[in-house]
């Protein structure tokens, strides 16, 4: 089911960790951002778009994690964009002979057979200095950063007042760091500053996973995520319900402890963080 969150902006929520596919209506069709997750959900999304008479004219992947680079043949062969770093990461993965096995190893076991990998990651990288998405629709500003994953980008649909945040700014998930980066904590804080810089222009924020929030929730989520990351940076204990005894998902405290362990290992090895 598609839900309108702003003029010309709709969201489809997957059953997998509230994954959000975002549809932006343009003159001759739609921009489809991060479609997912199962074959049935993707086919259903394609059906809903046909019912609207809205073909897919462009796609965008916010970052190179498997659940954000899926596709379905029913969407057609529209160009699928991402940042240059995102596309490079996918090209590197797809060039390895065992890429299917590698991806299968990180899929949720209960859904693995239902997740289509045939068109995974076929992303066209935009020039590194691209400020806007090239398509015939509302202006979509690209906000690239290094939080969560190299090549991650949020999209600001300026005249609709919508921020498509990718895997950030969730009320359910605490910040998931890119622990392979040199400075994962600083990268995350820098991205939050970018979001803060456009907050006055945002009426709705769409996280990769979780519920759509309004303008007041955007600022609250920025502050909550900053407090979590800053606590890790300062060696303190985050006061964050998402990783506490009443965490919304039972495995989140384990991910939190794993992040703490990896950061401690990086510190012991002499890495910046």
CATH label of the domain that carries residue 47: 3.60.15.10
Query: pTM of the predicted model, to two decimals?
Result: 0.96
Q: Is the peptide bond before 37 cis (omega within 30 degrees of 0)?
A: yes
User: Which residue, among 146, 13, 34, has the nearest Cα to 81 in the 3D structure?
Assistant: 34
pLDDT, tens digit, 9 for 90 and up, residues 66-100: 999 999 999 999 999 999 999 999 999 999 999 99
Q: Which domain range does residue 245 map to?
A: 2-269
Mean pLDDT of 4-12: 98
For the chain, the domain total comes to 1
Average pLDDT, the chain: 96
Token pair of 85 as six digits: 């770093």
Yes or no: say if 257 and 241 are a contact pair by the CB < 8 Å rule.
Answer: no
Percent of the chain with pLDDT over 70: 99
pLDDT of residue 270: 73
């Amino acid at each position: 089911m598609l839900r309108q969150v702003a003029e010309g902006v709709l969201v489809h929520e997957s059953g997998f960790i509230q994954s959000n596919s975002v549809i932006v209506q343009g003159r001759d069709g739609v921009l489809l951002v991060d479609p997912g997750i199962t074959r049935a959900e993707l086919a259903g999304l394609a059906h809903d778009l046909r019912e609207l008479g809205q073909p897919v004219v462009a796609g965008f992947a916010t970052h190179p994690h498997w659940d954000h680079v899926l596709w379905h043949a029913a969407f057609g062969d529209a160009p699928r964009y991402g940042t240059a770093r995102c596309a490079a990461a996918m090209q590197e993965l797809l060039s390895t002979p065992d890429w299917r096995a590698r991806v299968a190893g990180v899929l949720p076991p209960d859904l693995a057979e239902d997740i289509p990998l045939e068109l995974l990651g076929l992303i066209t990288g935009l020039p590194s200095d691209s400020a806007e998405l090239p398509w015939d629709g509302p202006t979509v500003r690209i906000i690239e950063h290094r939080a969560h994953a190299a090549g991650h980008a949020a999209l600001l649909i300026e005249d609709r007042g919508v921020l498509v945040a990718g895997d950030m700014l969730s009320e359910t998930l605490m910040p998931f760091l890119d622990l392979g980066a040199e400075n994962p904590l600083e990268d995350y804080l820098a991205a939050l500053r970018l979001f803060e810089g456009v907050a006055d222009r945002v009426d709705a924020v769409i996280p990769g996973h979780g519920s759509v929030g309004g303008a007041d929730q955007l600022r609250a989520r920025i502050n909550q995520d900053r407090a979590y990351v800053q606590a890790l940076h300062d060696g303190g204990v985050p006061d964050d319900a998402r990783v506490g005894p009443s965490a919304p998902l039972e495995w989140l405290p384990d991910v939190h402890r794993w992040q703490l362990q990896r950061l401690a290992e990086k510190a012991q090895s002499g890495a910046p963080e």
